[in-house]
Amino acid sequence: MRLTVHDIARVANVSQATVSKVLNNYSGVKESTRKKVTDAIEELKFTPDSVARSMVTNKTNTLGLIVGDISNPFFAESAKIIIGKAQEKGYDVIISNTDHDDENLENAIQTLISKRVDGIIISSISRSSMRIKKLHENGFPIVLYNSRVEGDSSNSVVLDNYRGAVLAVDHLVGLGHQNIAFIAGPTKYLTTYERYLGYREALEKHGLVLNTDHVYDGEYDYRKVYDFSYNLLSSPDRPTSFFATSDQMALAVMDAAASRKISIPQELSVVGFDNMSISANAYIGLTTVSQQKENMAELALKKLISLIEKTESDALSIQLSLKPELIVRKTTSAPNKK
């Protein structure tokens, strides 16, 4: 049995409207009656019903966050920042996990909207999604995080993925590597696709030829990447280095290498992408391209809030590209001379 404003009104001996006014800090209410009301609220420990409130204000103070896989530390760490900043601004966040499935994403958007969330941050969306364009045209507050859709001008915050991949390849080539395998991940994502382009063109720049047998462009599945790497490491044309498009997948590569008793970095160099916090662990020490998730997450959230609260001219949407940074640790070195 919930308490309502009417209960407070009765106890404070005022009308329901007045209670509502003190709840919302209206100016036109005498100090003495305000006190009567706050006392009653205090005494009965009343908290207003957000649902009813949303009903009339048309605001839920709830955001949606759609991620491909919340158990991936990159997403989890991003989510933590987003949740924290959202909380500061008075918003809660509903997290939807899509398992990188487009239909799940579609449904997630649907239910979030029917729940009237005030805005959505989407972090894993195919570069060809039609849905986003429509939402964007409708003026629904939406920000893409670490992803972007081709031909769409929705607000987005991403890393300069192309540059990031180039940095990684430059680093490996600089160390003397000529045979660089690539764990691309699903190229349906624009981010991974851009990294792929970066990889390809960086190879070209250095006069190296692309060997598609050395490129994995399947799902972000630990086991599959492990198997791919294991097999490749058993082949006669074994690469001297791997560049993986996510730290998690880099770990899968390292896992496979460990199983094959191939030591890192002496016999194999590995570069990741994300710089998830565990990668900094001295015991792991993964060389990686930093996503700057703190900045990205904060920027994405701020942008979303400003769209919702219309604190800035939302006429033009912004596509932010942050500068990547290569963090060299201990999984890369010059290859063995033969």
Partner DNA sequence: AATGTTATAGAATACGTATTCGAAACAATT
Partner DNA sequence: AATTGTTTCGAATACGTATTCTATAACATT
DSSP secondary structure string for all residues of 120-168: EEE---BTT-SHHHHHHHTT--EEEES---TT---EEEEE-HHHHHHHH
Q: What, of a second copy, DNA, none, does residue 240 touch, CB below 5 to 8 Å by kind?
A: none
Least Å from the CB of residue 134 to DNA:
19
Contact footprint for DNA (CB under 7 A): 2, 4-6, 13-18, 20-21, 23-24, 28-33, 48-49, 52-53, 55-57
Q: What, of DNA, a second copy, none, does residue 15 touch, CB below 5 to 8 Å by kind?
A: DNA
Q: What, of DNA, a second copy, none, does residue 294 touch, CB below 5 to 8 Å by kind?
A: none
67-80 in b/e burial notation, b at 16+ Cβ within 10 A?
Answer: bbbbebbbbebbbe
Q: What, of DNA, a second copy, none, does residue 319 touch, CB below 5 to 8 Å by kind?
A: none
Indicate whether 44 belongs to the interface with a second copy (CB under 8 A). no
Is 270 buried (19+), middle (13-18) or exposed (0-12) by CB count in 10 A? buried
**223 - beta bridge partners?**
none
Q: Do the beta carbons of residue 164 and residue 273 sit within 8 Å?
A: yes
Indicate whether 52 belongs to the interface with a second copy (CB under 8 A). yes
Question: Alpha-carbon dihedral of residues 234, 237, 243, 244, nearest 10 degrees?
Answer: -40
Q: What, of a second copy, DNA, none, does residue 263 touch, CB below 5 to 8 Å by kind?
A: none
Least Å from the CB of residue 33 to DNA:
3
User: Which 106-145 residues touch a second copy, going by CB under 8 A?
Assistant: 110-116
What is the total count of residues that contact a second copy (CB under 8 A)? 51
Q: Give dist(CA 51, CA 289) in Å, integer.
A: 43
Q: Give dist(CA 142, CA 321) in Å, integer.
A: 17
Indicate whether 262 belongs to the interface with a second copy (CB under 8 A). no
Q: Which helix (H) or strand (E) holds 258?
A: helix 247-259
Indicate whether 281 belongs to the interface with a second copy (CB under 8 A). yes
Query: Where along the sequence are the contacts to a second copy (CB under 8 A)?
Result: 47-52, 54-55, 60, 62, 69-71, 73, 76-77, 79-80, 83-84, 87, 92-97, 99, 110-116, 251-252, 254-259, 264, 277-278, 281-285
